[in-house]
Structure 1
Amino acid sequence: MAREKIQIRKINNVTARQVTFSKRRRGLFKKAEELSILCDAEVALMVFSSTGKLFDFSSSSVKNILEKYNTHPKNLEKAKHPSIDLNIDDSNYASMTKQVAEESLRLRQMRGEEIQGLTIHDLLQLEKNLEEGLKRVLERKGQQIMEQINVLQEKGKKLIEENERLKEQVVKIAREEKQVVTESENITYEDGQSSESVSNNALHLRLPQDQVDHHDHNSDTTLKLGLPGSNWV
């Protein structure tokens, strides 16, 4: 049964696209390996997935093949007459591409991805880098916590000062009210009599008439003789 011919266009389904990419990538690398073996050719192949992952194949060394490519007379001739459309040197472009790929791989490994091919030494170095990064993160976290604590302490200090100020105001208001009450006890009544006159009148009302007359007589005598009332019984 003949295979159904697939139309060459972008696969919209993400899962199907990833499966197709994985299958065809392996097939492409296999063909490149067969080409290098059968024809004694130096082959280098680099593929970036849609997510930025790098996959490469080389019959010897990608770096050596790229250097050989850059120093090829044909490319040197291009360097003498650079294209107007391309202002980036091929060697720099290759170096930048490699650097981006290495940093992308390093970032994924920091997240715990694609670490299957790492040696013990690589894993120990990765662990050391993670510990150092975690240490810096914890230090920064501690700094932010201390800054927040200082802010809260400053707010608490201001609240305490405000509380003391309000207490002083309450004490002051209480003293003023007490003073007003004290002064109100010594003011004259509405009929013009003082509190002492009112007390004397109340005494006259409570005493019998003969005692009142005797009290008044003693008072008059005291006033006439100019003697102190304390010498009279």
Structure 2
Amino acid sequence: MVRGKIQMKRIENATSRQVTFSKRRNGLLKKAFELSVLCDAEVALIIFSQRGRLSEFSSSNMQKTIERYRENAKEEQANNPEIQLSMQQLKHETSNMAKKIELLEVSQRRLLGQGLESCSVDELHEVDSQLQHSLRNIRARKAELFKEKIEQLKEKERLLLEENAKLCEKCGSKPPAKEKEIVTSSRQSIQSSEVETELFIGLPEMRCL
């Protein structure tokens, strides 16, 4: 019976995936052993399972083989112009990034009022300008939040008034007046109930009517 071609993708079934891993791991370890014996090669194999379990094989000493690999990798990098150029670019970018971070830290300390003794007049003007700009942004954001909150409260008031009117309609009672109408009527009642309280000193007949 000819085996079908296995599609190279992750096995979704956990049980099948574990069985396949065990079989292929054993086969890989066997091939590594055969390669070291048949070809007199120094072979080191390290495998970590999905759960983190370690499986390894070494024809001699694993640690010595790893150190030998590191030495060869360093020599290859040193003899490769492209790798050297890439390393120089990385060092340059790292240096520039460190300088930018240092400048940002200095600017942050100045904005917090620290380390201003060594600042010149122009630098102090710049710090003041930054603070004023930040303050304007904060106030604008604060006003925006207040506006949004007021709109939310107005919408909530409208919904409560509608709900109250529906409840009054179900109960058969007259809906209460709106807040503005209540305030207006209260002001009118206060004005109509005003009495003369002017203080007068003297005889009654001398008072001007």
Measured against the shorter chain, the TM-score band is 0.3 to 0.5
Higher Cα radius of gyration: 1
TM-score, length-scaled by structure 1? 0.37
